[in-house]
């Protein structure tokens, strides 16, 4: 990957981005499968959103939602994924929702009650993350805030 003199981002030949893989899918299922394959992710669940709660607080979107029997919390980004009170995934894992009808990624603030979504999870070891994502003090602050949502 490199940037040209005008600041445009270019990828080396043979390099494929998750967005490129996603767009190459012919069906919703193929698009989701392409993204999961590229990121080495896991499809957790698909279903309608229930119990959606969103509060705008100090510039942050804070809330929670349920898909089937999985519960997600967010603080701008998805922070936790749990089932039956057991946290299965938490930040800095990547937890994403896709609008199944349009098959596009949908951020937590754009979710609607009843929207049909697919939830995927990607282990942070499969992502190119900043070293701050391993900062224990930062992660503890996030956990403290999310604890008030749970």
pLDDT for 53 equals 95
Alpha-carbon distance of 145 to 85, in angstroms, equals: 17
Q: What token pair was written down for 90?
A: 């938490």
Tens-digit pLDDT profile for residues 61-87: 989 999 999 999 998 999 999 999 999
The pTM of the full predicted model, rounded to 2 decimals, is: 0.78
* 21 within 8 A of 38, measured Cβ to Cβ: yes
Neighbouring C-beta atoms of residue 33, cutoff 10 Å? 16
pLDDT for 104 equals 85
**120 phi/psi in degrees, rounded to 5:** -125, 160
Which residue did the predictor score with more confidence, 77 or 23? 77
pLDDT at 13 over 50: no
> What is each CA distance from 39 to 8, 32, 44, 52, 126, in whole angstroms?
24, 11, 14, 27, 6
CATH class of 40-149: mainly beta
């Amino acid at each position: 990957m490199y940037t040209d003199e005008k600041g445009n981002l270019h990828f080396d030949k043979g390099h494929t981005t998750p967005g490129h893989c996603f767009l190459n899918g012919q069906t919703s299922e193929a698009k989701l499968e392409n993204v999961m394959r590229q990121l080495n992710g896991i499809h957790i669940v698909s279903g309608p959103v229930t119990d959606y709660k969103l509060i705008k607080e100090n510039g942050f979107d804070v809330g929670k939602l349920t898909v089937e029997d999985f519960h997600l919390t967010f603080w701008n980004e998805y922070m936790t994924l749990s089932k039956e009170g057991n946290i299965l995934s938490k930040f800095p894992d990547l937890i994403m929702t896709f609008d199944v009808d349009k098959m596009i990624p949908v951020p937590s603030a754009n979710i609607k009650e009843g929207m049909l979504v697919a939830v995927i999870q990607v282990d942070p070891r499969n992502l190119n993350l900043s070293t701050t994502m391993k900062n224990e003090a930062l992660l503890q602050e996030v956990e403290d805030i999310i604890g008030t949502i749970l």
